[in-house]
Structure 1
Amino acid sequence: MNRLMLLLLCCLPLLAAARTPVTEVVVLSTLHAMHDDVPAYSQEVLAASVRRLAPDALCIEVRPDRFAARAPEPNKIEYPGAIYPLIEAQGYRAYPMEPAEPDYGRILAPYKSANEAFGEAQPQQAEAFAAHMDAMYAVLRTYWTSPARVNDATTDAQMRAKHALQEALVGDGEREGWEAWNRQFMAVVERAVAENPGKRIVVLAGVEHGYWLRERLARRDGLRLLDTAALLSAGP
């Protein structure tokens, strides 16, 4: 084999990689019912943030059956209020991340039972932790003066610490349930990445999930995780 042929063979994997389009992923944290309590990140601002990120597809934090029916969401008010109308208007391809039954109940069961047992066995700790969460969110609502701040490293650090403490207090059921729920989200995101090569996917997830998803997606091959806070802070 001559040197030119050998060189071409060595370069083929690099050429193939260069031709493979990279899918971009952006995790956009949402506030559910708190959108009505944070003027800088109202439902209207959330919709504008999604448009600014220019997605080709959305991963959304609802069940497939509820999305198909465009059902009202008692806590996740941003879906009927902002996201569903945006999907209809913009024609985004949508991927519901929550599982249908019976997986929905199966994944949540150990999480729910562990937290109920914690409240019964350690009522003082449970009350103290609830007060801690109320105080944390009270401070964050004053910190969240822009969509970028809801999606920045400071907010992610608060949520990471909150869940570390919650898992330490409640135990294995809490930890296993939280991991299983987030892994379910990740599986859907990975499917969206596989089905949309070279496109941009925006993952809409409650603010407590942001740190978990960003950490895992940053380690995934075959996609480029973008800095949400930087994108939302950039000039027009």
Structure 2
Amino acid sequence: MNKLFQCLAAATLVVATITPALAASEVFLLGTLYKRHEQVPAYNVDTLVRIVEKVAPDVLVLDVTPDELRKRTVFPGKIEYTHGIFPLMDKRKFITYPAEPAEPLFSEIVESVKSRIQQFDKEQPELSASFKRTEKNMYAMLGKHWSSAARVQDDATSEMIDASARLYAEILGPVKKDADERWDKHTADMVKRAVSEHPGKRVLVLTGIRNRPLVQRNLQGDPAIKLVDMPAWLTQAGF
């Protein structure tokens, strides 16, 4: 009987030792700038590609739709894909996941927001124009702050962009808030799926800088995910 207990204790110890390694996959959550990459020398598309190569992920979760991933075509503003990520995917093998929803969910979310914004612009043109000016000024200030790729991912950036996004959703009402939550939860769910299907693999998530704060909140607290401190990692890596 004692021998049986010893064997069970040993087996429990082995499982306890192995489980944490399997349960926590490294996830790198990197915000991208779309066309603004052209205006931020410290975080241009070439730098983004070098960061991806340095991370050396097994899995990429990209803010594209399934159809865009398959056809390698994206919205024209997403220059990091056409000029950087897609060419890199042609040279290196990655497991890839599309973070954006397929149809009809894509159009359901996008069209609901588009319709609400058009209504808001028509009903409250002065407030709409004021917010657009504020948004433009915010990115102008952030552009000065972004002297390194690490700073693009830091708390100052995240808090400012998150506050702006929350305020806009509050002004526009539940349609915008619900759309933001559904969109970014979908991204987080795809990340969780990637981690679940490839335990222990290194996962790199690319998402628009405006979406990064909410995606991060959706991933925090998941025992299967070890979120990498991106500002610290990028600084240590020389970015």
Cα displacement (A) at 1:10: 6.1
Matched residue, 2:91: 89
Counterpart Cα distance in 1 of 2:170 and 2:6 = 55
Seq. identity, %:
34
Cα RMSD over matched residues? 1.8
Alignment of 1:37-116 (within 5 A): 37-116=39-118
Distance 1:31 1:235, change over 3 A: closer
Q: Residue type matched to 1:36 in 2?
A: E
Matched residue, 1:192: 194
Q: How many residues align?
A: 235
Counterpart Cα distance in 2 of 1:51 and 1:63 = 23
Q: Structure 1 residues 15-24 or 198-207, which shifts more? A: 15-24
- Residues 26 and 227 of structure 2 are in contact (CA less than 8 Å); yes or no, is this contact kept in structure 1? yes
Matched residue, 2:203: 201
- Residues 53 and 231 of structure 1 are in contact (CA less than 8 Å); yes or no, is this contact kept in structure 2? no
Distance 1:72 1:209, change over 3 A: closer
Matched residue, 1:233: 235
Cα displacement (A) at 1:235: 4.5
Cα displacement (A) at 1:92: 1.3
Q: Residue type matched to 1:16 in 2?
A: V
3-state DSSP class of the match of 2:102? coil
TM-score by length of 2: 0.92
Cα displacement (A) at 1:216: 2.2
Aligned pair partner of 1:120 in 106, 119, 122: 122
- Residues 33 and 209 of structure 2 are in contact (CA less than 8 Å); yes or no, is this contact kept in structure 1? yes
Deviations along 1:85-116, one digit per CA (max 9) or x if unpaired, are 11121211111111221121012232222222
Cα displacement (A) at 1:217: 1.4
Unaligned runs of at least 5 residues, structure 1:
none
- Residues 87 and 94 of structure 1 are in contact (CA less than 8 Å); yes or no, is this contact kept in structure 2? no
Cα displacement (A) at 1:7: 6.5
Unaligned runs of at least 5 residues, structure 2:
none
- Residues 63 and 97 of structure 1 are in contact (CA less than 8 Å); yes or no, is this contact kept in structure 2? yes
Cα displacement (A) at 1:5: 4.6
Counterpart Cα distance in 2 of 1:17 and 1:38 = 46
